[in-house]
Structure 1
Amino acid sequence: MNRRQFLSSTGIATIAASSKPAAAFAATPKRATMQLGCQSAPTNDTHLKYLARYGVRNICGYPQIADGRIYATVAELSRMKDLAQKNGIEIDCVGPPVLTSSHIDSEKHPAIMLAKSPERDRDIEDFQKLIRNCGQVGLPAIKYNMSILGVLRIGRVQGRGDCTYSQWKLSEAHPKTPLTGAGHVNADMFWERITYFLERVVPVADEYKVRLACHPHDPGVPPEGYQGVDRVLGTVDGLKHFITIQENPYHGLNFCQGTVSEMLADPGKEIYDVIRYFGTRKKIFNVHFRNIRGHRNDFVEVYPDEGDVDMVKAIRVYQEVEYPYLLMPDHVPQAANDPDGLQSFAFSYGYIRGLIQSLEG
């Protein structure tokens, strides 16, 4: 029996023949649709090297702006972009020095949220300049807030190890003053201010192909308001209404998963369908991928691996809706031996990176 007859009689030839093209029939490796990101500041060489050390390759950047302006010039944006690229990092979003998450009484540029003319028209014109300049430089998104009360918390509680967690408990909250400098702002007034802004900036964003990502109100408050303010972007229904104003592919959300979880009675069950609602409509432009323990009106902000939301399930929902942008940590726990929360951020980067990799294979 020659070699060919032997192989044929034993079936080895069939096995060998079928094994050769096996690689051609292997499943195509899956790819995660999203990227690990961060929005921590400053965007300087030291911090960029810190981010690169932990595998963060896409970030929200903060340009150095001269002369107290609230818009960055093309040159200022280009310098930031070039510095990031020298460190192997891309700027996927820009944080301006206006419409931040600060309390209105400490906000440097409050006119838009106070509906104070002619100052708000001047500030909106400057925001339009920022959109145009970002478009010219190739920076694809701007994040912003439409907040009067800022981020509401009552203090800190002990966490695991030597860290502490930020806490909100409405029943124990005591505002420093009955009203802010904005006075009474009911829902109709708040929606008017939001609409006035969107009508003037969304068409510019569409023209220059720059996504505008608005952060929800953190946290939501009862319908009667807090410090005289009805936080209309503090409910899922409010966010649903928001995305219908000036409906446009470049108008959407800086979807803080932590903040949205804070709106819910049972975030561990409800958050996934909220992600689906906005994700299928392509209205999620950025994700603060953080966790909480608790529910609406009573919660603490914890590490991503120990809260009430199943983060593995959550990231699979983002993959399901083909969310294509950044997942980033936010509001990390603090510790005396961890200046600026750099260790907590590093832990969160690794956690998010691992979850993203788990989607692939």
Structure 2
Amino acid sequence: MKVGFGLYSHMLTKDFYRFARQCGATHVVVHLVDYTAGSSASGANQQPVGDTGGWGVAGTGRERWSLESLLRLKRELAEEGLTLEAIENFDPADWYDILLDGPHREEQMTHLKKVVQTVGEAGIPILGYNFSLAGVASRTTGPFARGGAQSVAMTEVDERPLPRGMVWNMVYDREAYGDGSVAEPRATVSHDELWRRLTGFLEELVPVAEAAGVRLAAHPDDPPAARVRGTPRLVYRPDLYQKLIDAVPSRSNGLEFCLGTIAEMADGDLYDAVDTYARQGAIAYVHFRNVHGKVPQYHETFIDEGDIDFSRVVRILERNGFDGMLIPDHAPDMTCDAPWHAGMAFAMGYISALLQSQGVKR
């Protein structure tokens, strides 16, 4: 297995590359979308939580997706001993009408096909995504982890409808959004309708990914409630991952397997899910994040103190021949001058020691 590290768009610098390598990472997942553009959280190291106004404004930094930029990024990472293994998430500005089934769907599908082709041409094997209307929402932060460390929690489902001009928890149309006070209820969108949209998306994009040598990897809904902000969710139970991969059977239709999110699910067994999907070879890469509790009430913990037995997870992955990448996802902030760095270093050290103790080849 490979030990990886996730880097947000503002972290694509030599200092962060060296920090990742010093923590033991050999592979990297990068986020090219600037999730906090235009918000007060801009440049924060942790994934944003957002409120009714979401994370930030979509559509900035599109130059990062060019072939020239991707090849330059690969070279810069390689110079620091790191391999660019995956890109995580499309920019909501590039596929909002695919999610919403709006008038620009066809041109946006054409654009995403070009994105996948470019990623393949750059030699990047995995492209993660999350097919969601509300995105990552209904969360808060506080001193929820051991010793009062700052971490993320869910205390209730956010029922407030999304404002106009927002999807995936980001603003894609500033004019429609305005001051965010006008809601656009989407309660009429059913789960079946959202699955229809996803299936159409996969039917068009998976063949392009196959030809490009790219593996699409779907993240489950985080948090995994059946509906959030008045919109349906797709993968809020472990068995729904099977529905997704069966929709268009292909190695290029894979899973971005977030252990923390699956552990948060109200139904299903985490270890059965790991075994089921690892046995099928469906897992593209794995997020290591620990939690305590389940929707609608849970909180994220340090990697060694939550509900997940990661030793058991690694044994299951090893038994099924998984040789992909593990990354620590996000971790609690520790009380020091570098809260994010300390939390991530702790998680990376735990993962490395766990693999070594299990005799897993890296």
TM-score, normalised via structure 1 length: 0.80
Contact 1:35/1:356, CA 8 A, preserved across alignment: no
**In terms of Rg, which structure is larger?**
1
Matched, 1:190 2:194: yes
Q: What are the equivalent positions in structure 2 for 1:1-361 lying under 5 Å apart?
A: 34-41=1-8, 42-62=11-31, 69=62, 72-99=65-92, 110-117=96-103, 119-151=104-136, 152-170=138-156, 173-177=157-161, 181=184, 183-184=186-187, 185-222=189-226, 225-265=227-267, 270-335=269-334, 337=336, 339=338, 341-360=340-359
Any idea what SS the aligned residue of 2:276 has?
helix
- So what's the TM-score if we normalise by structure 2? 0.80
After TM superposition, give the deviation of residue 330 of structure 1 in Å. Answer: 1.6
CA contact (8 A) 1:253 1:285 kept: yes
Deviates more, 1:287-296 or 1:107-116: 107-116
Indicate the structure with greater helix content: 1
Structure 2 vs 1, CA of residues 258 and 215 (structure 1 numbering), >3 Å: closer, same or farther? same
Question: Measured at CA, do residues 154 and 88 of structure 1 come closer, stay the same or move farther in structure 2, by a change above 3 Å?
Answer: closer
Post-superposition offset of 1:356:
1.3
Structure 2: gaps of 5 or more residues: 35-58, 164-182
Cα distance in 1 for partners of 2:21, 2:193 equals 44
Relative to structure 1, the CA distance from residue 176 to residue 75 in structure 2 (aligned partners, 3 Å threshold; closer, same or farther) is same
34-43 or 300-309, which deviates more: 34-43
Distance 1:314 1:97, change over 3 A: same
Shift of 1:327: 0.7
Q: Secondary structure at the match of 1:197?
A: helix
Deviation at 1:98, TM superposition (A): 1.8
Equivalent pairs, count: 313
Report how far residue 71 of structure 1 moved.
Answer: 7.5
Q: Aligned equivalents of 1:148 and 1:67: distance in 2?
A: 20
Please give the per-residue CA displacement for 1:117-137, whole angstroms capped at 9, x wherever unaligned: 2x2222222221121122222
Which residues of structure 1 form unaligned runs of 5+? 1-33, 100-106
Letter matched to residue 133 of structure 1: T
Aligned-residue CA RMSD (Å): 2.5
Contact 2:302 2:331 in 1 (8 A): yes
Q: How far apart, CA to CA, are the structure 1 residues paired with 2:162 and 2:29? A: 35
**Residue deviations 1:15-73 (CA, integer Å, cap 9, x gap):** xxxxxxxxxxxxxxxxxxx1111112222222111111111110112459998538722
Q: Do the aligned partners of residues 71 and 111 (structure 1) sit closer, same or farther apart at CA in structure 2, a change above 3 Å counting?
A: farther
